[in-house]
Structure formats: structure tokens, C-alpha cells
Amino acid sequence: MAVHAHQVRHREQAFEPDLAVVDAHHHLWDDLTNQLAVPYALPDLLADMDGGHHVVATVYAECTSHWRDDGDPALRPVGETQWIAGQVLPRGVMDAIIGYADLRSGAATRPILEAHREAGRGRFAGVRHSTAWDPHPDVPNTAREVPPRTLVSADFVEGVRLLGELGMTFDAWIFFHQIPELAQLAAAAPDTRIVLDHLGGPLCIGPYAADRPAMLATWREHLAAAAARENIVLKIGGLGFPWFVPDEVCAQLTDSDAIADYWRREVEYAIEVFGPRRCMFESNFPVDSRVADYVTYWNAMKKLTVGHSPSERAEMYVGTAMRTYGIPRDDTNRTPP
């Protein structure tokens, strides 16, 4: 198995080490069979957080880790929430948990969501039900395969509305050509906070490998349509995702300046259409460790916003994530494990 950058010595010193950041999306994996990343356990995360950046909070995103092995299949994903919430963690580590529930169950999802909330001990914030789908055989779809147009199916819409009713968020992991469906979903569930993950999925593989500019032109058009929906916020990340950065390009992104330069136009456009109060930054580790170690990666993300005011940067690096996921400024609402 390849060694990712997070497993090697830091290549750079932290840039702007006093600038507070919330890592709005990362995973923990101890599964050696995962296709997208090497194992990444709690000690790895803690070591990365101690690397020089001022990480004040993190958000754990579901990745099928530690599901229950038996019992009601619909409740097995609750094991992941229970696993995270049951660990004794330093303050600022995994303050919010994004779990999994099959939202295609519509109103029947309620007891699963309530079980997540109970298991989360004050940390459970919402659901990510990945619906990334593409018809081309060279584009891997989400691990839990779903049919096309799942986002706008009646039961799924009902499930997303239920999240809003319960004060929970919906994280969307989709590809760029599905963004119009997400905009439709946002219109149908206006009371639910929706988070568009990984810059909206700008693919560079399969049929999109030959003409990245054409793909990005479509991505820009769709992203603007999503930004018109006030209940959608954007996660800026995925800067090392294998389906977004070709291998030959990834090999050339040897420092934070190169990473920032490669993504600058797209990130600046995303911030322009969504505005700083509806953008947040994510490491997407360990997946994005393909392109850089944690310190270098956050250096790149900070360098992407140096032209913005301190208040705008405070929103993008802390405020948006805190508001979206209900991360408290203290731990008073948490039940000890």
C-alpha cells in the first residue's frame, strides 16, 4: 500500500500558525481494504492537529467505520456515532459527528436519527448519505450504490426534510453534474441546512479527463445555481482527491504554493458565488493526504484566502462550520463517555 503524505515528516512549517481553523470534514479509518486512503486513526489525527496549525475544532464525517455487526440493519450505522462519542477526546477534537442513515426511508428514518442523537452525547450534528453517481463505467460511484436522481426522489426528499425538522444537517457528496438536483432538493427542503462537500465534485476522470476546462465551465454554472439557494453552504476541500486531481498533476504539487496555485481559480470562484459566510474549509483527511501532509495542506488552504479581510477569513475558517454544525464554544452540552 502506498504511503500517504500524512505518514511522513512535515515538509513545511505552519503558515499563519495563529489563525484559528475548524477542520470541517475528516475521517478515521483502520480498514486496510479502503481504496481511497491508508489507515488513519485517532493518534494520527491528534499528531496532525499538533503539527503547528491552530485547529480549534474538527468535524468527523462518516466512513462506515465501526458499524454494528448485528441487530437491525438500519441501526447498524449508529455504531459509528457511538464509537466516536464514546472516546475520551481532548477539547476541540471531533466536536461534531456526521453519521449515516438511509434517507430513502423517508419518515421511517426518524428512529434511526433519534438513535444517532442519543449515541452522539451532544455531538451528533447530521447525516451524510452519499449519492455520487455517474453513468460512465470509468467513474467510481459511491460505495453504497444508489440509482440516478436519488436526490430528488420523493422518499429521499422527505428524509432530508426530517433532518431539518430535527435540527440536523444534510451533507451531500455528489458529482458536479448532480448539483442542479441538489438545488432542487434545497428548494424542496428549505428548512434543512445542506452542505455541499468537496467543492461540488469537479471530476477529472473517465469522460472528463480529456477536457477539464469544459467540465469546469459546467461546474461553475451549476455551482452558481446551488449558491442561489440560501440553505446550501459549501465545503472547500478535496484538493487531493484522486478523482479530482490526475496522478501526473498530483506528482507536481510538491508544496503548498503549487497546490494553492492549481486550485486558486476554482476556490476564488466558489467563495465569490457563495460568499465567506457560506464557505468552510475541510482537510478531507486521510483521503487528501495523497497530495500533502496535514500542515502543508492547511498552508495551501490558508494561502488561497490571503486576499480576504480578517473577518471574512474568520467566517470561512471558523464561523461557518461552527454555525452549520452547532459546535459550541465550550463543552457544556456534552455528556461524558
Interval 153-172: pLDDT, tens: 999 999 999 999 999 999 99
Distance of CA 228 to CAs 66, 273, 325, Å? 37, 8, 21
Backbone angles phi, psi at 114, to 5 degrees: -65, -35
Instruction: Confirm if 279 and 232 have CB atoms less than 8 A apart.
Output: no
The burial class, CB within 10 Å (0-12 / 13-18 / 19+), for 241 is buried
Is 333 a member of any domain? no
| pLDDT one-digit tens code per residue, 47-59 | 999 999 999 999 9
And the C-alpha cell for 181? Answer: 438536483
For residue 103, the enclosing domain spans 28-325
For residue 103, is pLDDT > 90? Answer: yes
Residue 127 DSSP class = E
Is there a domain that residue 291 lies in? yes
Residue 37 has pLDDT above 80, yes or no: no
Nearest to 224 by CA among 181, 270, 192, 189: 270
Assigned domain for 103 exists: yes
Q: Assess whether pLDDT exceeds 70 at residue 9.
A: no
Domain assignment of residue 23, yes or no: no
Domain count, the chain: 1
Burial 100-118 (b: 16+ CB within 10 A, else e): bbbbbbbeebeebbebbbe
> Is 18 contained in some domain?
no
Q: If pLDDT is split at 50, 70 and 90, which confidence band does 32 have?
A: low
CA 171, CA 104: separation in Å to the nearest integer?
Answer: 15
CATH of residue 113's domain is: 3.20.20.140
For residue 239, is pLDDT > 60? Answer: yes
Any idea which of 1-5, 80-84, 289-293 has the lowest mean pLDDT?
A: 1-5
**Does 214 map to a domain?**
yes
Residue 204 maps to a domain: yes
Domain-located, residue 268? yes
